Structure formats: C-alpha cells, structure tokens
C-alpha cells in the first residue's frame, strides 16, 4: 500500500508539469519561427523609413561654395492602427527637406510632406510584403506647387540575416506643370535595392537603383551607416549618403543632381529599420 501511495503521489506531481509542457509546445510548434516573427513585427509606434540629418556638397562640379553646399534631412515614423493576424495596418508620415543653410538667410529649397497608409503583411520570417497609398506635397503655391498621389506594392526578402533585398513598384497621379517634363518620366515606376549587414548589424550598406520611365538613365542612391550605441531607446548612427539622378526634390525634379553628404541617422530601438525608400 505504501508503494502504491508513493507512485500515485509521484504521478500527481509530474503529470501536470508534463501536460503543461505539452500544451506549451502545441501552442508554439516552431519556437524559432515564432520568436523571429514577433521580433520583426512592427511596434505600436516606430520608425518607418530612414531618419537622418546630413550635410554635404555637389559631386558633379568642382565649384563648391556656400550656394550649393546644403543640408538634407528626413524624418519618418509610423503608428500601428490595427493588427489582423499577420497583417499590421500602419499610418505613416515622412518629411524630407533640402536646406541651403550656408547661403545668405539660409533658404529652404523644399520641405516635402508625405502622409500615408499601408498594410504590412509578415508572410514569414524571411519575407514581408507592403501594400499602401501615399500623398506627397511640397506645400508651395502657384508654379512651385508639386503634389503626387501613389499606390504601391513592396517586397522585402532576407535570405540570410546579413542580407536584405527588396523591390517596390507604384502607380501614381501627378498634376502636370506646363513647360516641364512629366514627373514619372524621371521617377519611373519601380526601384530595387539591397542592404548588406556586418558587425552584428551595426554596419549597414545599402544600394538602390531606380530606372527612369524610358530606361535612358537611373537614379542611384548609396547609404553607409554605423550604429554608435546599442543602449537606450534611440540608437544614433554615423551616416553617409551618395545620390545622383533626378527627383532629389519635387520642385526641381527635372534637374540632374549629384551629392555626397554625411551626418547622423537615428533609429528607434524597437522600430523596423527597413533602409528602404
């Protein structure tokens, strides 16, 4: 009888633990998939595109002075409005500006505002898809006024943790300004990019190619960043950018420009660092 009681006591002690373990394993059949998916999910509030403040000079001329040296900045944030399974609905806002800060009276060349709405679908830990709409305007009036409305589809693929590749295609409406080329003849309708990561993701290099509508030229962008800290909610990075082509600003989209700039970028620790445009 004593042996029977001991056996029953042992069964009552160990069975709940075994059952709990089995329930936990059933809830999360693939722990690595679950952890990776949750880690890349967008937070309630985070960074949408790159956020940076950089200054530099034109790369297509030797006549560099206070009139053509400038500052470029971008701030991009997003708020998660709803979550439906593996799809997040994001409200996003991006502001981009070019500022002739070294010139007399430091005029602002342009400050463009771009609110938008997108559905972010986490297909699996290696593939994300975005579908959204956006509006972009420079806030000017009369002949300097520019505004664009676009609908886009975007894909981000990570075959390994050190590499991300992506592509974006869009269809847009632009109110044509008489006497100027059509915006999408210079901007085209798609772009591709790749980001290589090193030093535990602290060093990032991104190359972006955006062909024009006629494929006669390409808008190019190369970004190099190095994260300075892993502590805190905001992670600062050293940031270098080279851009060449058209559409640097909406107001001067039809002019070819080439710049190299350097400064600082900022990343929210729990945001999604996409490194895409």
What are 187-209's pLDDT values in tens digits?
999 999 999 999 988 999 999 99
Residues 135-164: tens digit of each pLDDT: 999 988 888 899 999 999 999 999 998 999
What confidence tens digit (pLDDT) does each residue in 118-141 have? 999 999 889 999 999 999 999 888
- E-strand ranges in 103-233 read 108-124, 127-137, 147-160, 163-174, 190-198, 203-211, 218-227
pLDDT of residue 28: 45
Question: How large a percentage of the chain has pLDDT more than 90?
Answer: 62
For residues 271 and 100, which has the higher predicted lDDT (pLDDT)?
100
Cα separation, 192 vs 209, in Å, equals 6
Percent of the chain with pLDDT over 70: 82
Contacts 24+ apart (CB under 8 A), 227-230: 227/201, 227/202, 227/203, 227/267, 230/202
Q: For residue 45, give both structure tokens.
A: 């509030």
Q: What value does the mean pLDDT take over residues 105-121?
A: 94
Q: Which tokens go with 244?
A: 């060449």
**What CA–CA distance (Å, rounded) separates 102 from 120?**
40
Q: Rounded to 5, what percent of the chain is helix, strand, coil? A: 15, 50, 30
Per-residue pLDDT reduced to its tens digit, 198-241: 998 899 999 999 998 878 889 999 999 999 988 877 789 999 99
Q: Does residue 23 sit in helix, strand or coil?
A: helix
Strands (E), 12-104: 45-47, 51-58, 70-84, 87-99
Whether the per-residue pLDDT at 55 is higher than 80: the answer is yes
Query: Rounded to whole angstroms, how far apart are CA atoms 65 and 121?
Result: 46
């Amino acid at each position: 009888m004593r042996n029977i009681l001991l056996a029953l006591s042992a069964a009552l002690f160990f069975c709940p633990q075994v059952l709990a373990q089995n329930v936990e394993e059933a809830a999360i059949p693939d722990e690595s998939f679950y952890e990776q998916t949750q880690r890349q999910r967008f937070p309630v509030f985070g960074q949408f595109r790159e956020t940076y403040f950089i200054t530099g000079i034109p790369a297509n001329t030797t006549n560099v002075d206070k009139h053509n040296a400038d500052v470029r900045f971008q701030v991009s944030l997003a708020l998660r409005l709803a979550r439906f399974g593996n799809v997040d609905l994001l409200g996003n806002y991006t502001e981009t500006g070019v500022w002739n800060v070294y010139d007399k009276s430091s005029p602002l060349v342009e400050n463009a505002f771009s609110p938008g709405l997108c559905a972010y679908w986490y297909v699996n830990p290696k593939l994300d898809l975005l579908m959204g709409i956006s509006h972009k305007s420079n806030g000017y009036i009369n002949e300097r006024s520019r505004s664009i409305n676009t609908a886009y589809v975007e894909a981000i693929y990570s075959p390994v943790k050190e590499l991300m590749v992506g592509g974006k295609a869009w269809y847009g409406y632009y109110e044509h300004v008489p006497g100027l080329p059509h915006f999408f003849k210079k901007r085209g309708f798609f772009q591709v990019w790749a980001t290589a990561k090193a030093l535990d993701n602290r060093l990032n290099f991104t190359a972006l190619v955006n062909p024009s509508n006629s494929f006669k030229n390409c808008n190019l962008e190369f970004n190099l960043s190095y994260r300075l800290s892993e502590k805190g909610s905001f992670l600062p990075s050293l940031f270098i950018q080279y851009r060449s082509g058209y559409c640097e600003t909406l107001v001067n989209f039809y002019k070819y420009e080439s710049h190299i700039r350097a400064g600082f970028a900022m990343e929210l620790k729990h945001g999604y660092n996409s490194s895409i445009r």
